[in-house]
Structure 1
Amino acid sequence: MDFLELTKRRFSARSYKSDAVEQEKLNYIIECARFAPSAVNYQPWHFLIVKSEEQRLKVQQCYNREWFTGAPVYIIVCVDTSVAWVRKSDNKNHADIDAAIATEHICLAATSLGLGTCWVCNFDLEMLKANFQLPSEKCPVAIISLGYVNELPKHSSARKSVDEIVTIL
């Protein structure tokens, strides 16, 4: 499948089968994230793959949505802002940008393997940090639910036209 087709197939999955995700597929997905670009190649990320029922419940406490509980795997994307590149002119730390790139690599890699994902940012940050005893330097940026899709979306997301998002100078 070409890249445009892959990007069109990716969607925010909110219904998962209970089937386990094979370790080989998780390895492939993380390998794709590992090769994501980052500012000055600092790679300030760390990924927690959450598979056990006990640990999944800890994630679910931080984002209380019924659909979310059906995902067999969660990937928590964390960053260490102290090792991320900082632009000197305005002190802009690029950790969140680097994490976003890696997160989308995860979502696209999963799609290429026939898996669904949903990128979640609306979680209880402090509870997540406490539940996983994360050191202060590891800050969660996103939780990705991951699994085999049970139900395709009923409609596709409307996209703005090229004319609305591009200015040619």
Structure 2
Amino acid sequence: MTFLEIAKKRYSVRSYNEKKVEPEKVEKIIEAAHVAPSAANLQPVHLIVVQEKEGLEKISKAGDIYNAPLAVIVCADHEKAWIRAFDHKQSGDIDAAIVTDHMMLEAADLGLGSVWIGYFKPDILAEAFHLPENLEPISILAIGYTDKEPADPERHVKTRIPVAELVSCESYKKQ
């Protein structure tokens, strides 16, 4: 499958069955995170992989993971993140987003569903998982199997803004 086919196949899954994600698939998802690029290759990301009921219940107190059997808490390490000298923009959130995207696309390639969760209470996660102050939870990736029909890979033609609104060539052009 080509990259574009995988990207079109991926959709947000908000209904999971009870089937556990096989260890070899979890390893591949983590490998996808491991090879993700980061600013200055500083790799300022830490992942907490949660599969046990107790941990999944802790996450559910912070945000809805839709009964997924696997969740990955993606944290930015603000002590390790690259900082742009000109305006002090820190790369941690961006690097965490890239890692999340890599895992999400690998999950799709493995026949798993996932949903990127940004609506959660970070303070509850930080306390429940004993995060040090330098680690900020940026996203939760819920992963698992679904019994629902997959989304149409060609849905983007109808659900996305036109390319002409997305892209300007050579200079910004107001639409």
Per the normalisation by structure 1, the TM-score is: 0.94
Q: For the residues of structure 2 that align with 1:26 and 1:138, how far apart are their CA atoms? A: 22
What's the counterpart of residue 79 of structure 1?
76
For the 8 Å contact 2:9–2:151, the answer to whether it is kept is no
Tell me what 1:33 maps to: 33
Q: Which runs of 4+ in 1 moved over 6 A?
A: none
**The residue matched to 1:86 in structure 2 has which SS?**
coil
Distance, in Å, in 2 between the alignment partners of 1:29 and 1:57 is 22
TM-score (norm 2): 0.91
Q: Which amino acid aligns with 2:3?
A: F
How many residue pairs are counted as aligned between the two chains? 166
**For residues 151 and 100 of structure 2, what CA distance do their matches in structure 1 show?**
25
Instruction: Show the 5 A alignment for 1:1-169.
Output: 1-63=1-63, 65=64, 68-152=65-149, 156=155, 158-169=159-170
How large is the Cα RMSD of the aligned pairs?
1.3
User: What is the CA distance between 1:150 and its match in structure 2?
Assistant: 2.0
Percent of aligned pairs with the same amino acid: 42
> How far has the Cα of 1:69 moved from its partner?
3.8
Cα separation, 2, equivalents of 1:154 and 1:86:
39
Structure 2 portions without partners, runs of 5+: 171-175
Per-residue CA deviation, residues 117-166 of structure 1 (Å, 9 max, x unaligned), is: 10001101101100111111111100010001221366745011211111
Look up the equivalent residue of 2:169 and give its one-letter code.
I
Say whether the 8 Å CA contact 1:13–1:152 is kept in structure 2.
Answer: no
